[in-house]
Amino acid sequence: MKKVIIIGARLDGHCGVVQDTLSEIGGHKIIGFLDNTAELKGCNINGVPILGSSSDIVNMDFSVDTFFHIAIGDNVARGAIYDELGKANLKMLTIIHPLAFVSKSTKISDGCYIGPFAIINAGSSIGPVTIINSGTIIEHDNHLGKAVHMAPGVKTAGRVSVDDFSFVGLGSCILPDLKIGYAAMIGAGSTIVKDVESGTTVFGYAARRHSKNIYTDTETDK
């Protein structure tokens, strides 16, 4: 039985998904949460205590057989906490849903989450603390960097590269041999037909560049 501490305790967010997946896998016991929400301090979540905030990690004494999983959707926060865990030499838990398919030739790094009905095909590599959500298809020879977030139903063709901290929105498709830059953001339902520059937001067919928040303004740039 592996002891697990989950960082991020929002049950209506990614944490709820992680808990459900651990229940499906079996063989894990959640012994605590770390969460920065002030209102949760001293509370229990489904009978499991909030042990403190993520910033308390360096001051807490954990047993050598304890594993950590970061159940936070925000890429930057997830990557920063991963770095702190690494400095403290704490062990990360990668969680792969039993209904996911992962090729034996794929390399999955520490702390990743692979959801139900996700497919990761031959020759791909997945960087640390990357989220690959339900029903996402990562085709052969893809490379995903650190703290990437692939939303449900994303499809990538062969030899796609997605750099660190990038987000690919719900149901988007990426054509073969393309490169998604560092910390890029791709809106839901986009079809990516050319490389996406680092730090840019794009959405829609042919992934037109957009300068505003895609969740509050869906008019494409002219």
- At residue 64, the pLDDT reads 77
pLDDT value of residue 208: 61
Q: What is the pLDDT of residue 154?
A: 98
pLDDT at position 221 over 60: no
128 and 57 both lie in a single domain: no
Q: Which residues contact 90 (CB under 8 A, 6 or more apart)?
A: 57, 62, 66, 68
pLDDT exceeds 60 at position 218:
no
CATH assignment of the domain containing 200: 2.160.10.10
Q: What is the pLDDT of residue 37?
A: 82
Residues 116 and 211 in one domain: yes
105 pLDDT more than 70: yes
Structural domains counted in the chain: 2
Query: CA-based angle 26:113:191, to the nearest 5?
Result: 140
pLDDT recorded at residue 222: 37
* Cβ partners under 8 Å of residue 8, min gap 6: 14, 15, 33, 34, 35, 70, 71, 72
pTM: 0.89
**Do 108 and 31 share a domain, yes or no?**
no
Same domain, 117 and 182: yes
CA distances from 135 to 20, 67, 94, 116, 174 (A): 16, 26, 18, 6, 15
Of 77, 93, 109, the position where a domain reaches its end is 93
Q: Are residues 126 and 221 in the same domain?
A: yes
Tens-digit pLDDT profile for residues 59-96: 777 777 899 999 999 999 999 999 999 988 899 999 99
CA distance 64 to 145: 28
Residue 30 belongs to domain spanning: 2-93
CB 100 within 8 A of CB 114: yes
CATH number of the structural domain spanning residue 66: 3.40.50.20
